[in-house]
Amino acid sequence: MEMKKKSDLIRAFVKGGFISPADLLKIMELSRNLGNKYVLFGSRQDIMFPSNNADEQSLAKAFQALNIDYELGSDQSVYQNIVSSYAVVNVVETTNWVKEDTYNVIIDGFDYMPRLKINIVDPVQGLVPLFTGELNFIASKEENYWYLYIRDPRKGQVIECWPRLIYGHDIPKIAKELEKIFLELLPFTAEELHMILKNNYVRINYKSIPEKLKFPETTFPYYEGLNAMLNNQYWLGLYWRNNQYDIDFMTAACRLCQETNISKINIIPWKAFVIKGIKASDRIRWEKLMGKFGINERHSSLELNWHLPVIDREALELKKFLVRELDQQDISTHGLTFTIKTNRDMFLFTAIVIEKSSTPGEHYNILYAKNFNPNNIIHHTYARNVKKEMIPSLLIELSKLYFRQLNPEKEHSGDAKQEVHVNGFVTSYQCSNCLTIYDKKYGDPTSNIPAGVPFEDLPDTYKCHVCESAKKYFLPVKDY
């Protein structure tokens, strides 16, 4: 089907990025009835599909019957979806008190459609960006209390911390009150906004901030494929390169969720989706479903760590070119994330940015986040006005720079440590695609490799037992 403009898209809001299979089925049916064969996912965990010039009154009635909020023309959005890290609970490491019910209770408290971008996010995980909202609620170590970081676009790319921690149940209330001020008044500091609410007698349960928010050194996770959870269950992540998710497959997946008692389907900001809680006894049913539709569930990690604008053929073609070139160079980009920026208003939340230059022709600027931390909104310029063909070599240089700065103390902290570094030896290798470790002390029982066999002695046909990557994708890990 021909790609559409963003202004032709219907945007269905999925609060918190999680939706019941029954409701998702209804959205699939509505999109199909409009003549579509696919839906798209947005970076704010919403669902989009072409309107095909549908009558607005008919659309309003259809969505009212579904009890789902929507907007037509996503390039000039009035309302915003609420982003959360609900999807990552039991998938990656998270703050111990933040559970799925934590998000449910907070998001159920929103009795209005926000016009501000609101994020409700756990800082320990690395899949959902923290500061892409204008109101960013970040879980603290204090149970049920959250930091609030405000990003007011009218003041530029500045993030300010609310002077106190906010009780989770009060998040919808304070968000609603702050929206009124944002929409009616000039920019204020976080401290001034705090005083305005106090003077207006808005009752919020607060706690003092015991310490500044610390960002753990999280690694961007491999979010695709069938992967083990606790309690003998699995989660499934699926990604489409062109972000056009086939309605027939999505319909079949929703129905299988219903048949196997899975209550939620989760959309993530990387334009992919996750299904959690698959029972071990049902795993074969999911494998058969994916086989029936010819689903590829093992893309290289090079594919998965890119953020592209919705419906942007130029960005998609550039990404394909860059991934192909980096793959041919056997370069690891594990831990790095990339954005292709083709419009001015795009908010950056990745470590490296390829930004279209204002210079005529295919010229680009290369930027990177301070300390390569994707949650750091400060970006440095690495190169300006470079041709497309030069980008791969620059990304390779940047990736090497990133790995060198990961552990600088081992390289620059004195002769003793330098000597240890030189005398380090390798006993294990790590798959650069899914991070599986091969350690010769244990071998690989699943591939009938006994303990004690060095990686170098493995046959060239050896593959990762998790993602089936070839031997060449394993990188040495130094032990000391």
| 93 plus 161 within the same structural domain | yes
* Domain presence at residue 435: yes
Q: What is the DSSP string of 86-135?
A: GGGTTTS---TT--HHHHHHHHHT--S--SS-EEEE-SS-SSS-SSSSSE
* Domain presence at residue 315: yes
* Domain presence at residue 212: no
416-432 pLDDT, tens digit each: 333 223 233 456 787 77
* Domain presence at residue 182: yes
* Domain presence at residue 49: yes
Report the C-alpha gap between 213 and 136 in whole angstroms: 12
| Cα angle for residues 455, 458, 463 (degrees, 5° grid) | 95
Tally of structural domains, the chain: 4
Q: Which stretch of 99-113, 200-214, 337-351 has the lowest confidence by average pLDDT?
A: 337-351
Whole-structure pTM value = 0.82
| 194 plus 173 within the same structural domain | yes
Question: What is the predicted pLDDT for the residue at 176?
Answer: 96
Task: Identify which has the larger pLDDT, 446 or 92.
Answer: 92
CATH code of residue 336:
3.30.413
| 182 plus 246 within the same structural domain | no
| 197 plus 243 within the same structural domain | no
Q: Which stretch of 107-111, 197-201, 410-414 has the lowest confidence by average pLDDT?
A: 410-414
Around Cβ 15, how many Cβ atoms within 10 Å?
23
| 267 plus 123 within the same structural domain | no
Bridging pattern class, strands 47-50 and 38-41? antiparallel
| 258 plus 384 within the same structural domain | no
> What is the Cβ-side half-sphere exposure of residue 147, based on CA atoms within 13 angstroms?
22
CATH code of residue 445:
2.20.28.10
The pLDDT-based confidence of 397 (bands split at 50, 70, 90) is confident
Question: What is the predicted pLDDT for the residue at 94?
Answer: 93
Calculate mean pLDDT across residues 312-336: 89
Domain extent at residue 249: 225-299
Classify burial at 280, counting beta carbons within 10 Å of its beta carbon; exposed 0-12, middle 13-18, buried 19 or more: exposed
Q: DSSP 3-state assignment of 328?
A: helix
342-396 pLDDT, tens digit each: 876 677 889 999 999 887 778 899 999 888 888 887 888 888 888 999 999 899 8
Element (H, E) at 318: helix 313-328
